[in-house]
Structure 1
Amino acid sequence: MAYDRIRPFPNPDAFEFPELRALASVWQEKKDQLEDDGAYKEFIKKLQREWAIETGIIERLYTWDRGVTEVLIEQGIESSLISHRGGVSQQDAEHIQALINDHLGIVEGLFGYIKGEEPLTEYFIRGLQAQFTAHQDYTDAVTESGDLIRVALVKGEYKTLPNNPRRPDGVTHAYCPPELTKEEMENLVRFYREAEPIYSPEVKSAWLHHRFTQIHPFQDGNGRVARALASLVFLREGLFPLVVRESDRKEYIGSLEEADAGDLSNLVAFFARRQRDAILKALGLEQQVQQSKYADQIISSALELLKLRFTREKQKVFVVYEHADKLFAIVESKFKNIVATLDGQLRLLTPPHRQKYRARTNAASNTAAHRHYFQKQIVDTAKHFDYYANFDQHRSWVRITLATDQEFDYVVAFHGYGPGDSGILAASAFTYLKAPREDGGTEFVSLHPAATDLFQFNYIEPYDSTQKRFAEWLESSLAIALAEWKRLLQV
C-alpha cells in the first residue's frame, strides 16, 4: 500500500451541522457571564483532566475502567489513587501520573496559546510532541524480520525511519516516508492556514487531525499530538477541547480509516457530536450559575432589573416552544398514519377466541391535563443519555400502543434540557411493555431507549433546519422501536 500525499480541504459546503452552529451561538452569548465564575473554572479543570487521562488510554499507555477515570477527574491526578483504584504498583502509578501530568500541561497550555493568536507552525507541533513524550524515553519498533524491539525515542524531531504498521489482516499501512515528512508537514501547515478563515471548526479539526495522522511525522506520540491539534482548533473558536474516550474507540478508529479511503464525513460528524455534548454540559452549568446570580440580585433588591432581563430572555427563547409544538404535531400525524394502516392488519391476524389485536395512538400537548405521564421513563432515558430532563416549562408526548398478546408502547416525549429556562429542549424516545400485576393492575417493564442519540433543539437554529434533523431522527427512532417490538414478539 503506497503513501497517498495529503490533499487540501474538501468543498466547504460538503458538511453541514446547523445544530452545532446554533448551539455554539447560544454558548457565545452565555460564556462571558461565566468565565470568572468558580463553578465554570472547576468545570474547565475537570474537562482538562478528562482530556489528559483519555488521550493516554486511547494510545494504550495505561488502561483501566471508566470508574477510575471519573475518580481522577473529580479528585485530581494522584499516584496513590491510580495505584489503589487502577490496581497497579506504586512505581507504575507514579510513572502514569507523570505521563498524565505531561498531557495535562499540554491541554492547559493550549488554553493559553490561543490567547496570543499565534499562527500554527511546524515548530509548535514539534514542541507538542516533545512535551507529550517528556517522561517517555523508549518506544516499540518492528524490525524487517518482524521482531518487536525497544528503541530510544527522539523528541521534538521528525522520524528518520519508516513507521508503517502492519494491520491484523497482514496489510502494511503506509505513512509518509521519512524523506517526504518535512515537505508534507509544510504542506499541512500551509493548507490549514489558507483554509482557516473559510471552514467551520469541526471540519478544520477533523481535516487537521486526519492529515496529520496520515503523515505520522514522529516516532511516537502522533495520536496524542493529533488530538491536541484538533482541540486547538475548537479552542480558537471559543469552544472546548476534543475529548475522545475509550468508549469512542471503535467509532473513532473506524472514522479515521474511512478518511484514509477519502471520506472525511464521519470523522467530521464524530467531532461535531463530541463538541455538541461539551457545549450542552457547559450550558447546563450556565443555568446553575445564573440561578445563583439571580438570587444574589434578589437579595440586593435589584428586582426590577431582573424582571426586565427575564422578560427579554423569555421573548428571545420563546420561539423554541413554538418549534416544539410543530415537532409534536409531526409526530402525532405520523403516528396516526401508522395506526390507520396497522390497526386493521393486526385485527385480521387475531387468533380465534383472543382479544382483538389492535394499534392505537394518543397524545398530550403541553396544555393537556395528562401531560405528566411517563415521568419515570423520561427521567430514566435522560440518565441513559447523561442529561437532566426539565419539566418546568414544557412537556408533551405522543404514544403508539401495539396490543397483541402483550401491550407494547412506543413514546416520543418533548421536555426541557438541563435546569432553568435555557431555550434548549430535548426529544426522547423509548419503548416498554405493560405487564399485569398480581393486584390486577399493570406495570412498566423492559424499558429501552428508542434512539441512538439525544435529539436537542434550541431558539437560535432555524426551524427548517431543526425539522430536517428531527425527521431523520424520528425515522431512525421508529425503526429501532419496531425492531424492539418484533424482538419481543419472538421471546
Structure 2
Amino acid sequence: MSEKRIPWHPVEPVPHLNGEIATRLASVDALQVAWKAVQASASPEEVEASLKRRLRRHAIETGIIERLYDMSWGVTEALVAEGLTTEVASAEGEVSEATLSVVKDQFEALAFLVEWARTDQELSIHFIRELHTLIVRHQPHYEARDQFGRTVRVPLVPGAWKTLDNTITRSDGAVIECTPPVQVDSEMQRLVALYAETAGAHPLIRAAWLHHRFIQIHPFPDGNGRVARALTLLALQRGQYAPIAVDRLQRTEYIAALDEANDGDLRALVRFFARIEEKALRAELQAPLTPVPESAGAVAVARAYASRLKAREVENQELKAQKATELAGALHTRLTHFMENTAHQVQEAFREFDSSAFANIDNATPPNPRAKYWHGQLVHAARLADFYANLGEGSWWVRLHLRLRGNLLRFITTIQKVGRGETGVLALTVFAEVLSSDAENGPPTPLYRVFEHPHVPDSVTLIYTDDAETRWEDIHQVVDTALSTAISRFSEDLA
C-alpha cells in the first residue's frame, strides 16, 4: 500500500480563534498579572537569574526532543540550577564535552533571541538565519538520504537554506511535504510579512502560529525544530510572558498538537503552549526574596526589605483572597460530589471480584484544622508540578480510599494556594500512593507512590477571577484521568 503524502502549500495567515481558546488565554493573562507583581518586587539580578535558568532548561530539552542526546533528570536539574559548566557536567559524569558544546550553543542562541527581543527590531530573514547559525555552530554534518535511499552524512552550512527536498513523517505514517527549496526564500519572506501583521493577536497565538508555519516550511537542512522552538519565545518575550520549554515528557503531546495544526487546526498547539506557559508563570510565584547582604549595614538592609515588601502589596488584597477562597470552595463541592459518585461505582465494580472491596471518601476545607492534613503528600505533588504550595491555612482536599485484597489505594485531589502571600492563584494537584492495609500488622505501610517522574499527571492553574463552572471541565478531565491511571496501576499490581 502506498504511503499517504500531504502536499506542501503556501503559508496561511493567523486564523481567528475564539470560544474556549479565548477563555483559556484569559486565565493565562490573569496569572501573568500575579507573576509580573512578583517580578516587580524582585531585584534585576533575581529576574535575570530566573530567566537564565529557564533558558538553560529550554536549551537542554530542545536537543532531547530532537534525540540529539539524552540526559537524566538529575543531571538536567544540576545544569539548570548551577550553570552549563564543564565542572557541573563532569561532576555528574553523564555529559560529554561534545554534548555540552551543543547545549551551550542552544543556550547562547536563546540568550541572543532574548536580547534581540528587547529591541524594537522586527522579525527578519537575517535574524532567523543568525539564530540558526548560533544553534548549529558545533554541528558540522546532518543525516540525509541519497538517490538510492541510503543514509549519508552531508555537510551542514549554518544559516543557509536547504538545497534538497525534506519531509516530515507523522506518527500515522503520512508524509508531509515541506516547502520545496526553490520556494523557500519567497515563503520565508511571506512568513515574516504575515508575522508583522499579527501584532494585535495574543502572544500565545502568535507563538503557536509562527512555530507551526516555520515547521511547515522547514527552510534549513537540519535544526528546524530547534529554531522553531526558539522562535516561540519571541512573541512571549515581547508580550512579557515567562519563557517556556517543551520537555521530553511532553514530546508526544507536542507532536500530536503539531499534527492537528498540519490538518488545519491550530487550537491544540495554542492550548498546549498555554498549559506550559501557565506552569512557567506559576513556578515563578514560589521564588522567595533573596537576602540582602548583612554587610550592607542595618539601615540599608531595612530599606531594601521595606521597599521590596511594599512592592509585594497588591491592591484589594483582601478581596483577592476572598474570591480565591470562594472559587476553591465552589470547586471543592463539585470535586466532593464527583469523588463520592466515583467511589460508589468503583466499589460496586470491584465487588464482583472481591466481595470485601470497599471505597470511601473524606474531605476538608479551611478553616477546619483537618484541612492541614496530607502536608507531606501535597508538598511532594506541588514539587512535581513545579510550584510553591502555600499550605499555611491548609487546602481544599478530597481523599478517596480503595481497599482491595489487603492493599489500599489512597488518592488525594486538592486545591491549594500558590506562592507566598495572597497571590490570588490556586492550583489543583493529585497525589496517589499504595499502602499495605492488613489490619493484623498495624497501621497501613506505604508501598509506593503512583506518580513520579516521568509519569507526572497534569495540574490545573486557577485564578481568583475564574468561574467555577467554566473551569470545572479542565479539573474533571485531570482528576478523572489521574484516578484512572492510579486505579489501573493499583489493579495491575494485584493481578
> How far has the Cα of 1:109 moved from its partner?
1.9
Q: Which moved more, 1:95-104 or 1:17-26?
A: 95-104
Q: Structure 2 counterpart of 1:361, which letter?
A: I
1:318 to 317, 322, 326: 322
1:429 to 2:436 alignment: no
Could you give the per-residue CA deviations for residues 58-92 of structure 1, whole angstroms, max 9, x where no partner exists?
33444333333333223322345445645566xxx
1:99 to 99, 102, 108: 102
Which residues of 2 match residues 277-356 of structure 1 at below 5 A? 277-285=279-287, 288-289=288-289, 299=302, 309=313, 312-338=316-342, 351=355
Aligned length: 476
Q: Structure 2 counterpart of 1:317, which letter?
A: A
| Separation in 2, partners of 1:129, 1:420 | 42
Change in CA separation of 1:190 and 1:73 when aligned onto 2, cut-off 3 Å: same
1:162 to 165, 175, 187: 165
| Separation in 1, partners of 2:353, 2:75 | 53
1:390 to 2:375 alignment: no
Q: Which moved more, 1:143-152 or 1:397-406?
A: 397-406
Q: Structure 2 counterpart of 1:154, which letter?
A: V
Aligned counterpart, 1:381:
381
Q: Is the 8 A contact 1:23 1:460 kept in 2?
A: no
Q: Which moved more, 1:209-218 or 1:97-106?
A: 97-106
| Separation in 2, partners of 1:40, 1:307 | 15
Aligned counterpart, 2:418:
417
1:126 to 2:150 alignment: no
Which residues of 2 match residues 209-288 of structure 1 at below 5 A? 209-285=211-287, 288=288
> How far has the Cα of 1:378 moved from its partner?
2.3
Structure 2 unmatched runs, 5+: none
Q: Is the 8 A contact 1:64 1:86 kept in 2?
A: no
> How far has the Cα of 1:312 moved from its partner?
4.2
Structure 1 unmatched runs, 5+: none
Q: Structure 1 counterpart of 2:203, which letter?
A: P
Q: Is the 8 A contact 2:65 2:247 kept in 1?
A: yes
1:142 to 2:145 alignment: yes
Could you give the per-residue CA deviations for residues 164-215 of structure 1, whole angstroms, max 9, x where no partner exists?
36789986542110111122112212222222312x2222212211110111
| Separation in 2, partners of 1:453, 1:266 | 16
> How far has the Cα of 1:320 moved from its partner?
0.6
Could you give the per-residue CA deviations for residues 324-368 of structure 1, whole angstroms, max 9, x where no partner exists?
1111122223344456677788889875xxxx6554433222122
CA RMSD, Structure 1 to Structure 2 (Å): 3.6
Q: Is the 8 A contact 2:391 2:416 kept in 1?
A: yes
Aligned counterpart, 1:29:
37
Change in CA separation of 1:115 and 1:381 when aligned onto 2, cut-off 3 Å: closer
| Separation in 2, partners of 1:107, 1:85 | 24
Q: Which moved more, 1:114-123 or 1:432-441?
A: 432-441
1:456 to 2:461 alignment: yes
Secondary structure of the equivalent of 2:318?
Answer: helix
Change in CA separation of 1:97 and 1:306 when aligned onto 2, cut-off 3 Å: closer
| Separation in 2, partners of 1:247, 1:346 | 32
> How far has the Cα of 1:238 moved from its partner?
0.5
> How far has the Cα of 1:48 moved from its partner?
1.9
Q: Is the 8 A contact 2:34 2:425 kept in 1?
A: no
| Separation in 2, partners of 1:478, 1:296 | 54
| Separation in 2, partners of 1:243, 1:98 | 19
Change in CA separation of 1:331 and 1:291 when aligned onto 2, cut-off 3 Å: farther
> How far has the Cα of 1:442 moved from its partner?
3.2
> How far has the Cα of 1:113 moved from its partner?
1.5
Q: Is the 8 A contact 1:410 1:430 kept in 2?
A: yes
Question: How many percent of aligned residue pairs carry the same amino acid?
Answer: 29
Q: Is the 8 A contact 1:430 1:481 kept in 2?
A: no
| Separation in 2, partners of 1:77, 1:291 | 25
1:184 to 2:187 alignment: yes
> How far has the Cα of 1:308 moved from its partner?
11
> How far has the Cα of 1:115 moved from its partner?
2.1
Q: Is the 8 A contact 2:435 2:444 kept in 1?
A: no
1:53 to 2:60 alignment: yes
Change in CA separation of 1:265 and 1:345 when aligned onto 2, cut-off 3 Å: closer
| Separation in 1, partners of 2:245, 2:113 | 14
Could you give the per-residue CA deviations for residues 410-438 of structure 1, whole angstroms, max 9, x where no partner exists?
33223222444322222233344451366
Q: TM-score, with normalisation over the residues of structure 1?
A: 0.83
Change in CA separation of 1:164 and 1:358 when aligned onto 2, cut-off 3 Å: closer
> How far has the Cα of 1:52 moved from its partner?
2.4
| Separation in 2, partners of 1:401, 1:166 | 45
Q: Structure 1 counterpart of 2:39, which letter?
A: K
Aligned counterpart, 2:178:
175
| Separation in 2, partners of 1:444, 1:331 | 25
> How far has the Cα of 1:217 moved from its partner?
0.8
Q: Structure 2 counterpart of 1:32, which letter?
A: A
Q: TM-score, with normalisation over the residues of structure 2?
A: 0.83
| Separation in 2, partners of 1:82, 1:302 | 40
Secondary structure of the equivalent of 1:363?
Answer: strand
Secondary structure of the equivalent of 1:150?
Answer: strand
| Separation in 2, partners of 1:409, 1:296 | 51
> How far has the Cα of 1:46 moved from its partner?
1.7
Secondary structure of the equivalent of 1:371?
Answer: helix
